[in-house]
């Protein structure tokens, strides 16, 4: 728990590295992008035999590490650092805002900041535990903070990235944190080590996509992100440029061939699981695998979403492709998903 708290408080030392690999995988493939100064330079994807990965979890370490090593060798680099993208039911995300009322005549101190961050840490952990209980019925599953970032700091309702030493009556800090089971993180570390690499961190894919979207927009935007993988689908709500809630559907593009309509109906039900959201933005962005199917887009346009889901207006579905992100055009599918991991340079 101490390491988790230190991570959320930003006290843990973070290595600065300019070159690294970003990797995402599912039951069908491993995709690796080599980044230099945050930009994708080389990329390779290799197919996986059935049974090596299931639902985003590594089942056969030896076979997975061999395929990962093949991708790395094809990059032709000597870099060791690797970052894994995480999503699906393998991570639990918490968006927390904490407000502290204070004496407006006293400057904000480092201790004040740490007090607010500590409360954010406790609330983040509580939120993750609640999500685990809702999904599994087991409140005792061990979790580890795998990723955290301060998304906003305000002083008297004004954005203030560095409030220390300033005056204000209300200090507010918002954080985004991702928690994973230790065994899942250990499996990633073992896979990296077996491939001769150094596991540095994980980055939640949907959070990275939201960050890229925020960079593209001139104003703080509201949107919905649908990230489709082979084994599952992630549905995220973005408000004011920040990812605030996320749900996972245990059906992915593997269901498109025979169960496309069932997938759409299941996605509709998933929308109804969000709590505290009165209306959804009609701006819906989609990325992931198997998005070339015309029947997929026809189904999205044909389906009467507004009958059951409180969209503010008829939803508009936009495909997030390489051109949208200003990536090399060769980045498609899971390689495009790996490409968004370049945001972690920040």
pLDDT of residue 346: 46
Domain identity same for 169 and 189: no
> Quick check: 306 pLDDT over 70?
yes
In this structure, is residue 327 part of a structural domain?
no
Percentage of the chain exceeding pLDDT 70: 94
pLDDT of residue 214: 87
Domain identity same for 153 and 228: no
Domain identity same for 74 and 195: yes
Task: Match 């065994």 to its residue by tokens.
Answer: 183
Which range scores top for mean pLDDT: 14-18, 39-43, 68-72?
A: 68-72
Asked if residue 22 lies in contact with residue 339, where contact means CB atoms within 8 angstroms, the answer is yes
Task: Match 């939803």 to its residue by tokens.
Answer: 315
The domain boundary residue, chosen from 156, 172, 202: 202
Domain identity same for 49 and 194: yes
Domain identity same for 187 and 217: no
Dihedral angle at the C-alpha atoms of 212, 215, 221, 223, nearest 10 degrees? -10
| pTM, full prediction | 0.87
In this structure, is residue 336 part of a structural domain?
no
Domain identity same for 232 and 313: yes
Q: Which neighbouring-strand residues pair with 151?
A: none
In this structure, is residue 335 part of a structural domain?
no
Tell which phi-psi region holds residue 10, choosing left (phi > 0), alpha (psi between -120 and 50) or beta: left
Instruction: Identify the domain containing residue 107 by its residue range.
Output: 91-180
């Amino acid at each position: 728990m101490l390491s988790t708290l230190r991570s959320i408080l930003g006290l843990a030392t973070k290595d600065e590295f300019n070159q690294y690999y970003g990797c995402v995988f599912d039951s069908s493939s491993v995709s690796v992008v080599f980044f230099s100064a945050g930009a994708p330079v080389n990329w390779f994807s290799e197919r996986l035999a059935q049974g090596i990965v299931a639902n985003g979890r590594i089942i056969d370490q030896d076979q997975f590490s061999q395929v990962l090593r093949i991708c790395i060798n094809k990059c032709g680099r000597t870099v060791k650092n690797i970052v894994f993208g995480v999503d699906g039911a393998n991570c639990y995300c918490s968006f927390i805002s904490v407000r502290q009322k204070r004496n407006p005549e006293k400057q904000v101190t480092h201790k004040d900041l740490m007090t607010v961050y500590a409360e954010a840490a406790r609330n983040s952990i509580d939120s993750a535990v609640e999500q685990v209980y809702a999904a599994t019925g087991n409140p005792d599953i061990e979790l580890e903070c795998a990723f955290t970032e301060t998304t906003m700091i305000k002083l008297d309702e004004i954005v203030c990235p560095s409030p220390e030493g300033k005056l204000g009556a209300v200090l507010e800090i918002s954080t985004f944190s991702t928690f994973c089971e230790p065994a899942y993180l250990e499996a990633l570390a073992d896979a990296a080590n077996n491939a001769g690499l150094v596991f540095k961190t994980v980055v939640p894919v949907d959070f990275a996509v939201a960050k890229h979207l925020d960079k593209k927009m001139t104003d703080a935007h509201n949107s919905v992100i649908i990230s489709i993988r082979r084994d599952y689908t992630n549905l995220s709500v973005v408000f004011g440029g920040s990812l605030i809630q996320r749900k996972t559907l245990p059906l992915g593009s593997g269901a498109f061939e025979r169960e496309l309509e069932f997938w759409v109906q299941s996605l509709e039900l998933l929308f109804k699981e969000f709590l505290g959201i009165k209306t959804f933005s009609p701006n819906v962005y989609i990325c992931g695998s198997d998005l070339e199917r015309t029947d997929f887009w026809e189904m999205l346009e044909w389906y009467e979403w507004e009958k059951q889901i409180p969209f503010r207006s008829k939803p508009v579905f936009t495909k997030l492709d390489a051109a949208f992100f200003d990536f090399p055009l060769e980045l498609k599918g899971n390689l495009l998903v790996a490409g968004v991991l370049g945001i972690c340079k920040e």
